[in-house]
Structure 1
Amino acid sequence: MEVKKNPKKQLENFSKIFFQIGLVLTLFIIYTLIEHKTYEKNDLKTLGTTNMVDEMQEDIPIIEMKDIKPPPKSAPTLVEKIKVVEDEMKVEETIIESTETDEGDAIIINTEDIVEVEEVEEVIEDIPFILIENVPVYPGCKGNNKELKDCFTKKITEYFGSKFDVNLATEIGLTEGKKRIFVVFRIDKKGKVTDVKARAPHRRLETEVVSIISSLPKMIPGKQRGRAVGVSYSIPITFEVR
């Protein structure tokens, strides 16, 4: 069967091109309508009138120039006349008596008005063992300040261990295990141990500890700024009950 239409001239082949051309024209018309500007027509008769007025002129006052007269000259001050004294004129001399005392003259002082004031001794509170400049020296300890501190603690511990009655804990019926006792005392300005206080699991232990620490030997007192002062010391003591 023969085809009557020429395939090259069929409109279906150009449908895409026509669609694109139509789309472009449509967008162009829409853009033109959006960008089109319109203006309202106002009635020119209703417009107000404008009057042109000259700028306000400020009147500047005229200042009259006056002749300024100089102030009148004051009369010259009179200078006092200097009177010349002749050499023959006598001048009276003023005699100034000396206030110095002679070595032979006695000075009498009234001692009844003198009040004696007693010098108040400066009170220095006890200084903790860890902060003292020069620690108390336990008998037999030597060395620098650190060595003296270590020796002090060692000697206190050894002394307490040699005096403490271990069987006392069993007598008062303490349970087995480790027990701790806290002791606080001071070394006064003379090196004596005073104000011993203890805290222990039993009253009898506290009494025993206070008795032992109070019997410590006399020491060389601690010093702060070169002066003997009281030193407070605390030590925890641990022992085991079996």
Structure 2
Amino acid sequence: MNTPFIRNHQYNVIKKQTEFLQKTLRSVADQSVLKTVRYRTAVNIIEAFSSLTTEQERMLEQVSGLETAHEFQSYIYALEPYLEPFPPITLKQIQKLFPKNKKLKMPDLQSIDLRYVTYLSWVDIATNKLFMVYPFEGQFIGIEGRITPTHKKGYCMFCNRHQELAFITVKTKPANALPDQYSSIGQYVCMDGHACNQSITNTTSLERFIVSVRK
């Protein structure tokens, strides 16, 4: 039985590295350069994981010996059974994360392939709000923020890719604040959460943002 161990952002690393290796093989003839790139590709993929079994590491390192487009495609497809999906969550659980929103617009969970989700997000156009759900330290965290589309492309804080951005502003209560005292934290993030999930290769910035707005 295949034991899932690859999270979405790690799978994105693998795809990005294999694409780079493929392009290098098509454009570089120097065998010493190719040998180095093959080695670095495998190392970069392995370094995306904090721990791996010997079998898992051996499976991932097969990338360094690939030659043809078919072999690269087969390598990527062979890893899909090992994808660790976003933890199961129900609409009722989501509602509890946003108790002040009695008319909360819900995401269509049935249409989402949770294998390719690092963070769950959706936009309520009627209220200009972006909602995010992320599993953090053993529990789901819900983030709600007002969004302003920029209609421009730039680098998203979460995925660090050049995408169409929106500015999200999240209200947060500072430590030792008065009952009605709030502050706001804002960041530029992808307008399209699906595109962001397809691009994100590291969760550090995402988790740093979540910690900052939880305070």
Same fold (TM over 0.5): no
Larger-gyration structure (1/2): 1
Question: Quick check: which one's helix share is greater?
Answer: 2
- Normalising by structure 2, we get a TM-score of 0.18
TM-score (norm 1): 0.17
Q: By percentage of residues, which structure has more strand? A: 2
